[in-house]
Chains A and B, each alone.
Chain A
């Protein structure tokens, strides 16, 4: 069993910063080929691409990854466009946790910032996270 952060281990108000990633024309072209969502203008990045990359950055923190069983909901705002060559990073804060019969719901507020520290996109992810299995914790 790989190590993971289970529902019981998630701490409300805990904050995390991710490494940064430069969004390149190559990302935009791969993304457009894969999804056919097109950028609005030359040099602009399709709105959903930074959100997709934010999830990837979220796995690049030191702590063991959250034992996510399912992505439940997303509430998201695009504050300003990101352009090719910009470097994004994210910060996250655990807003709430609610136990369910199997696992529990975690609300994780994430903010995408650019290289100037300005907010580019922001919103809340709701994840279903597994509880620790008795045999796994033994």
Chain B
């Protein structure tokens, strides 16, 4: 499992990846509400949501952020990641039950941190089945250098 991990040195600037799609289901939203404790009406009250601009329950923004994190691992060979540094993120459009999202990612910066590690910054865009951008931002990953 660890043999094909890619080290900081091997990851090239401007590499691009696209993940498979993943349909966001009602079960995903219910499970995420239970796991996170976020039972806000936006995600859990179908009747209330009928009267809002969305017209129905929407997925938690952070659920889709977490799902894209998993989609990244299916988009490319795993990085030799030591940790997650942070993110700058915009939630642009709602994801509704039955929408299918996928991730497009691009390496936009590589920074030396320490003799054994560096920082990889990726631009990430989550698209839905109509190719609309639903979330977009940058993430920083701390990646091990080749020992």
Contact = CB atoms under 8 A, between A and B. Distances in A.
B36 A40 contact: no
A52 B86 contact: no
A36 B74 contact: yes
A55 B91 CA distance: 15
B98 interface: no
Contacts of B65: 48, 74
Interface string A69-98: 111111111100100000000000000000
7 contacts: A27-B35, A35-B67, A46-B84, A55-B60, A56-B38, A68-B40, A73-B90
A74 B60 CA distance: 13
Interface in B17-38: 28, 31-32, 34-38
Which 10 residue pairs of A and B lie closest in terms of their CB atoms, listed nearest first?
A56-B37, A36-B70, A47-B84, A77-B86, A37-B69, A71-B61, A35-B66, A52-B36, A35-B70, A56-B36
Could you say which interface size class chain A belongs to? 35 or more
Given A57-B37, A71-B62, 4 more contacts: A35-B67, A52-B36, A69-B52, A70-B91
Interface in B68-83: 69-71, 73-74, 81-83
B11 interface: no
Interface of A: 2, 21, 27, 30-31, 34-38, 40, 46-49, 51-53, 55-57, 59-60, 65, 68-78, 81, 123
Contact of A34 (B35, B41, B87): B35
Interface residues of B, number: 39
Contacts of A69: 42, 52-53
B46 to A, nearest CB: 15
A52 B89 contact: no
A52 B35 contact: yes
B85 interface: yes
A73 B91 contact: yes
Contacts of B83: 40, 47, 78, 81
Nearest to B84: A47
A1 B89 CA distance: 32
Nearest to A49: B66
Nearest to A66: B40
A30 to B, nearest CB: 5
A46 B35 CA distance: 14
Nearest to B81: A40
B88 interface: yes
B27 to A, nearest CB: 9
Interface string B83-123: 11111111100100000000000000000000000000000
B37 A77 contact: no
